[in-house]
Amino acid sequence: MLVATRDTVYALNGDPTSPRNVLADGEVQAIAEGRSIGLAALEGGDVAVLSQNGGRTLATGIEEPIECLLIMDEDPLHFLVGVEAPHVYAVTEDGTRRLDSFDALECRGDWYTPWGGPAAVRSMARTGDGWVYADIHVGSIMRSPDRGRSWDPVTPDLHQDVHQVATSPREDNRVYANTAHAVFVSGDRGASWQHRSHGFPYYYGRAIAVHPEEPDCLLASVSTGPHGDAQGQLYRTDNAGRDWSHVTDGFPDTTAGNIDTFHIGFTPDGRAWSVADDTLYGSRDRGRTWAPQWKAPSNIRMIAVQQ
């Protein structure tokens, strides 16, 4: 697992209480974790490729602010980059190209932000059989059945203000979204959606994560809104969101701000992870009970687990 503060990336291999500093070379924009490599996008468009043998830097040439990374292949290297504007880029050892099929989506004209700035590809997720999902902030979710070669929008049965999209390693047909109106779940790759909000005290959602072996076991965060004392809370479910329970055993009942996009996750061994300000918490029982694992030198901006 990778953990990033504003300007440093740490790797948690083995003992999570003593992470290893693997990158301290500029402002970190996004991170991604694979089986044998990690990625860290830096301000200015460079992407560091991190491994046990050290690191190297790819100059992608991407000028827009990078929001998210998605590893498609590790050898040879192939990953997708989501940016403000919004666009999706494919990066390989041979270079960088912007995906024309994503730019050609007819619904692009409907994408917006509440503050009037450009929309963004906020997060991406993939399935084992090559489907890719990109959430648009604000503009619902776009999907690709062929690793990013072609794109179309999911059925607009979910709230269009999506803050994170996730998939299940065990159920390729499942798609999960946390939105400004709580969680939505699809069992047919986004052709239809069910609103799953029972148990939440309020609906403004940010992060979502899926257990690697149990497609019905989820973690999600909600709050009162995007700004100020948002009263962020962490919730879990064992029935795909039909019922949610507040996580309070070992984890803060409420955080001052949001438990944000990329602040929760499950590692392949089934351990759950979540962030509250500068502290990384871990759980060995599917998110029921928690304990602090590591206090970072500054607030943690994001974590990345192997998808």
pLDDT in tens, 27-44: 999 999 999 999 999 999
| C-alpha to C-alpha distance for 129 and 110, rounded to whole angstroms | 30
> Which structure tokens are listed for 130?
């090559």
What pLDDT does 87 receive? 98
| C-alpha to C-alpha distance for 209 and 195, rounded to whole angstroms | 16
Q: Taking residues 169-198, what's their average pLDDT?
A: 98
Report CA torsion sign: 61, 62, 63, 67. negative
> Which structure tokens are listed for 144?
């690709």
| C-alpha to C-alpha distance for 30 and 81, rounded to whole angstroms | 9
What pLDDT does 53 receive? 79
Q: Taking residues 166-194, what's their average pLDDT?
A: 98
Phi, psi dihedrals of residue 249, rounded to the nearest 5°: -85, 95
What pLDDT does 131 receive? 98
> Which structure tokens are listed for 79?
């990953």
What pLDDT does 307 receive? 80
Q: Residue 168 in contact with residue 210, Cβ under 8 Å? A: yes
Confidence label for 283 from pLDDT (cuts 50, 70 and 90): very high
Work out the percent of the chain whose per-residue pLDDT is above 70.
100
What pLDDT does 52 receive? 84
Q: Residue 235 in contact with residue 204, Cβ under 8 Å? A: no
| C-alpha to C-alpha distance for 43 and 189, rounded to whole angstroms | 33
Q: Taking residues 291-297, what's their average pLDDT?
A: 96
What pLDDT does 18 receive? 85
User: For 51-172, where are the alpha helices, taking DSSP H only?
Assistant: 100-103
Q: Taking residues 159-163, what's their average pLDDT?
A: 98
What pLDDT does 14 receive? 72
User: Around Cβ 249, how many Cβ atoms within 10 Å?
Assistant: 13
Q: Please say if the pLDDT value at position 13 is more than 90.
A: no
What pLDDT does 117 receive? 95
Confidence label for 301 from pLDDT (cuts 50, 70 and 90): very high
What pLDDT does 48 receive? 97
pLDDT single digits (tens) 57-81: 999 999 999 999 999 999 999 999 9
Closest by CA position to 61, among listed 26, 100, 95, 27: 95
Q: Residue 55 in contact with residue 48, Cβ under 8 Å? A: yes
Confidence label for 218 from pLDDT (cuts 50, 70 and 90): very high
What pLDDT does 296 receive? 96
- Supply the mean pLDDT for the chain: 96
Q: Taking residues 168-184, what's their average pLDDT?
A: 98
Please provide the DSSP assignment of 253-285 as one string. S-BSS---TTSEEE-TTS-EEEEETTEEEEESS
What pLDDT does 184 receive? 98
| C-alpha to C-alpha distance for 264 and 268, rounded to whole angstroms | 14
